[in-house]
Structure 1
Amino acid sequence: MKLHLLDRSNRIKNSSFTITENRYPFFLKIWHYHQELELVVIQKSTGTRFIGDNIEKFNVGDVVLIGKNLPHMWLNDKEYFEEDSKLEAHALAIHFKEDFAGQGFFDMPEMNAIEKLIDKSKYGIKFSGDLTLIREWINNLRNLEDFDKVIKFIQILNNLARHKDYKLLSSNGFINSFKMTEKHNLNKVYEFIIKNFREQISLADVADIACMNPSAFSRFFKRVNRKTFSEYLNEVRVGYACKLLIEEKYNISEICFESGFNNISNFNRQFKKTMKYAPTDYIKFHAQRA
């Protein structure tokens, strides 16, 4: 799964930001990034959301802000790819540059909350709680005249900046190391992990991709990510397991192997280490919040 840089400069050239309505049988399976920030509202469809090294289920109504140059992909569930499927993937996406309102605009004291929001977006942000008004504003944004559209969008960002119920998605280690990928080939390592985490992956496999010997790669990876390669891989697998547990399509034993673990005891141990819950307790915890 190759990482693609998407050039949106032509689309955004004649406006300060763009609003795109995406309607497909399924979202395009492209692991990609771009210089623009992206605010997404899922109107219809379900699946798995990949943002940096975060893997979670996505649902109708989700509101997510993705920072510039942060790799991401929306992968619909299997039934969307069936030949006779009549399902639809539908989302609204707003793309904008950090300085879309003018150089230094968000440096003003009155814009401090939005400036912080933009900074946090480098991790990816999933908003929760009551987002009814924000979704309504985003849905109606395309119907406004140019001036009113810009004012309303700034209002949307301000509302999101002051929204208390949110979650940062990607890890600090991924963000820091992704900045160094051109020099150290870590980008290819992340691509390989996301494509193959359900299979058995060895340190030697990824060291070879990074063009380093295993010992040197192990030291480098830990220095950059502040965790070992095996810890990183287990966290990716646990993230995918969380998505499967929430879907309730498989039992825990099946999820263990579907996520890339080779025995149930190790799965339980790694899951609890990462999530602070055993898998069964995680299901109960999520059911209470649903």
Structure 2
Amino acid sequence: MELHLLNRSSKTDSSFSVTHNSYPHFLKVWHYHPEYELVFLEKSTGTRFIGDSIQKFKPGEVILLGKNLPHMWLNDDIYFMKEKDKSAEAIAVHFKEDFLGGDFYQSPEFAHIGKLLKRASRGIRFPISKRQNIHEEFMSLFVKDPFLKVMSLLRLLNKLAKQRNYELLSSAGYLNAMENQGNERLDKVYAYVFDNFKKEVSANEVSDLIGMNPSAFSRFFKRTNRKPFSQYLNEIRVGYACKLLLENENTITQVVYESGFNNVSNFNRQFRKIKQMSPSEYIKFHKEGI
């Protein structure tokens, strides 16, 4: 899965952009950009890839992405069928960290928003309840008055910064990997893993891919990612397994092999290690809301 740099800068005289996207399906491109991205999902379902996080998405969720964090919203297969009358809709806001000035978030009044943006380096999902009227707040961003538009964005960021219920998406170790974007060898490794994690992948074949011996590759990968290659691979597989577990047609045994694990016991062990709960507990937690 090749990583692309996209231009998300404002094409108007505004310091940030707000768009209402409505397509048969979302852009099927693994990409990143220097702007922060704030998204409200209005319609459609599928799989959300953010850093090394792989999860199902559904309408009503709010996502805040930090600068240069790779991501992709991949709609379910039904959205790519021409005979199906489906649409994918979202409101997306893109802004640079310094769009209000370099020291803006250092002031006491806005320091909490600065902390929110730091957390966004891993990607944040906010489970919004219906009573919060978050959609109306996103719609207020389309006001024509530029001053009111900025105030609407600050009011929205203020609300999200005060939310106690949120989920950090990609792993902490992934942040260090992001610092190496543009490193041709690492880009090849990440792309290869995303394309092949469902089958057997060895450190030897990956090291051959980038012209390093296995020992040197092991040291190189651990130094740049702060985790062994095997752990990184298992985290990708468990992330994909989480997505499969929430699809009703899959049994846990099917998920084990579809996500790249070769036996149930190893899957259960790695899943608990990464998610701090068993696969069945994960299903119950997300489907019953406990």
What TM-score does the superposition give when structure 2 sets the normalisation length? 0.94
- How far the C-alpha of 1:52 sits from its partner, in A, is 0.6
Q: Determine the C-alpha separation between the residues in 1 that align with 2:98 and 2:92.
A: 18
- How far the C-alpha of 1:200 sits from its partner, in A, is 1.7
Describe the SS at the equivalent of 1:247: coil
AA partner of residue 227 (structure 1): K
Residue 36 (str. 1) matches residue 35 (str. 2): yes
Describe the SS at the equivalent of 1:38: strand
Q: Determine the C-alpha separation between the residues in 1 that align with 2:104 and 2:115.
A: 13
The corresponding residue for 2:141 is 141
> What are the Cα deviations for residues 108-134 of structure 1, in whole angstroms up to 9, with x where unaligned?
111100111111111111112437333
Residue 109 (str. 1) matches residue 108 (str. 2): yes
The corresponding residue for 1:181 is 181
Q: Determine the C-alpha separation between the residues in 1 that align with 2:128 and 2:146.
A: 30
The corresponding residue for 1:202 is 202
Preserved contact between residue 244 and residue 250 of structure 1 (Cα < 8 Å) = yes
AA partner of residue 143 (structure 1): V
The corresponding residue for 1:98 is 97
Q: Determine the C-alpha separation between the residues in 1 that align with 2:13 and 2:212.
A: 45
Bigger drift between 86-95 and 242-251 goes to 242-251
The corresponding residue for 2:88 is 89
- How far the C-alpha of 1:103 sits from its partner, in A, is 3.1
The corresponding residue for 1:21 is 20
What percentage of aligned pairs have identical amino acids?
A: 52
The corresponding residue for 1:77 is 76
Q: Determine the C-alpha separation between the residues in 2 that align with 1:115 and 1:277.
A: 32
Q: Determine the C-alpha separation between the residues in 2 that align with 1:211 and 1:46.
A: 40
Structure 1 residue runs of 5 or longer lacking an equivalent are none
- How far the C-alpha of 1:81 sits from its partner, in A, is 1.6
Describe the SS at the equivalent of 1:109: coil
Q: Determine the C-alpha separation between the residues in 2 that align with 1:93 and 1:212.
A: 41
Preserved contact between residue 178 and residue 186 of structure 1 (Cα < 8 Å) = no
AA partner of residue 19 (structure 2): T
- How far the C-alpha of 1:12 sits from its partner, in A, is 4.2
Preserved contact between residue 140 and residue 152 of structure 2 (Cα < 8 Å) = no
The corresponding residue for 2:52 is 53
Structure 2 residue runs of 5 or longer lacking an equivalent are none
Preserved contact between residue 123 and residue 169 of structure 2 (Cα < 8 Å) = yes
> What are the Cα deviations for residues 214-254 of structure 1, in whole angstroms up to 9, with x where unaligned?
11111121223232111111111111111111122211111
Preserved contact between residue 61 and residue 128 of structure 2 (Cα < 8 Å) = no
Q: Determine the C-alpha separation between the residues in 2 that align with 1:12 and 1:171.
A: 33
Describe the SS at the equivalent of 2:133: helix
Q: Determine the C-alpha separation between the residues in 2 that align with 1:73 and 1:8.
A: 14
- How far the C-alpha of 1:257 sits from its partner, in A, is 1.2
* Counterparts in 2 of 1:22 and 1:250: CA distance versus 1, 3 Å: same
Describe the SS at the equivalent of 2:246: helix
- How far the C-alpha of 1:47 sits from its partner, in A, is 0.7
- How far the C-alpha of 1:139 sits from its partner, in A, is 2.0
Q: State the number of aligned residues.
A: 289
Describe the SS at the equivalent of 1:55: strand
* Counterparts in 2 of 1:260 and 1:127: CA distance versus 1, 3 Å: same
Bigger drift between 262-271 and 57-66 goes to 262-271
What TM-score does the superposition give when structure 1 sets the normalisation length? 0.94
- How far the C-alpha of 1:13 sits from its partner, in A, is 5.4
- How far the C-alpha of 1:278 sits from its partner, in A, is 2.1
Q: Determine the C-alpha separation between the residues in 2 that align with 1:182 and 1:209.
A: 17
RMSD: 1.7
- How far the C-alpha of 1:276 sits from its partner, in A, is 2.3
AA partner of residue 253 (structure 2): S
The corresponding residue for 1:127 is 126
Runs of 4+ displaced beyond 3 Å? none
